[in-house]
């Protein structure tokens, strides 16, 4: 299975076809509104605004500390009002129990061909290159503008 074979609904319930991201770098982040890492939304939005060649996709998840209990409308309102988020958000998804197929692909080497990853908390970051290859995973504490991420995205600041 390829990254481009996957789909997920956005926060409004519209289908996101990963094929539309072919040829683009993608950062996927499991996000939550009431987490100590929630201020990373600001950096994610800055990256989205500064580097339009990178698609950022926030994936709301309530699996870690129950830190994303809101409805789709509440999540979208919070992200917009508090952080001016304009990048794409998906429907709320599961990572631990009954993980969404996109999460399965991101975390299982047998599916992605590159890495086995255990997501341990909110704001884990996955980087997919222009060919749909999973190239890296970074844990929550690694901020979006960290040198490691910038190097993987081939960004010079």
- DSSP H or E stretch at residue 73: helix 72-83
Q: What is the CATH number of the domain that holds 126?
A: 3.40.30.10
Find where tokens 């970051």 sit: 125
35 catalytic? Reply is: yes
Q: What percent of the chain shows pLDDT beyond 70?
A: 99
Backbone dihedral angles phi then psi of residue 153, each to the nearest 5 degrees? -85, -5
Sort strands 7-9 and 134-138 into parallel, antiparallel or unpaired.
unpaired
Cα separations (Å) of 69 from 8, 34, 66, 74, 87?
20, 9, 6, 9, 20
Strand, helix or coil for residue 43: helix
Domain that holds residue 96: 3-153
Contacts for 55 with CB less than 8 Å, ≥ 6 apart: 21, 24, 25, 26, 27, 87, 88
Per-residue pLDDT of 25-53, as tens digits, reads 999 999 999 999 999 999 999 999 999 99
Average pLDDT over residues 53-82: 96
pLDDT score of 19: 96
- Whether the predicted pLDDT of 157 surpasses 80: no
pLDDT tier, 85 (very low <50, low <70, confident <90, very high otherwise): very high
pLDDT tier, 65 (very low <50, low <70, confident <90, very high otherwise): very high
pTM of the complete model: 0.96
What does the radius of gyration of the chain's CA atoms come to, in whole angstroms? 14
Per-residue pLDDT of 101-123, as tens digits, reads 999 999 999 999 999 999 999 99
Q: What is the count of structural domains for the chain?
A: 1
Mean model confidence pLDDT for the chain: 96
Distance CA 65, CA 35 (A): 8
Catalytic residue among 35, 61, 79, 152: 35
């Amino acid at each position: 299975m390829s990254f481009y074979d996957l789909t997920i609904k956005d926060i409004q319930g519209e289908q996101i076809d990963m094929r539309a991201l072919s040829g683009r770098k993608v950062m996927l982040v499991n996000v939550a509104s009431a987490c100590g890492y929630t201020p990373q939304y600001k950096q994610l939005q800055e990256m989205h605004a500064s580097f339009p060649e990178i698609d950022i996709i926030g994936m709301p998840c309530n699996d870690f500390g129950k830190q994303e209990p809101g409805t789709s409308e509440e999540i979208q309102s919070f992200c917009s009002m508090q952080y001016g988020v304009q990048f794409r958000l998906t429907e709320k998804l599961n990572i631990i129990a009954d993980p969404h197929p996109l999460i399965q692909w991101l975390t299982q080497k047998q599916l992605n061909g590159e890495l086995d990853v255990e997501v341990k908390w909110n704001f884990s970051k996955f980087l997919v290159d222009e060919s749909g290859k999973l190239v890296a995973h970074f844990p929550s504490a690694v901020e979006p503008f960290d040198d490691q991420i910038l190097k993987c995205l081939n960004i010079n600041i």
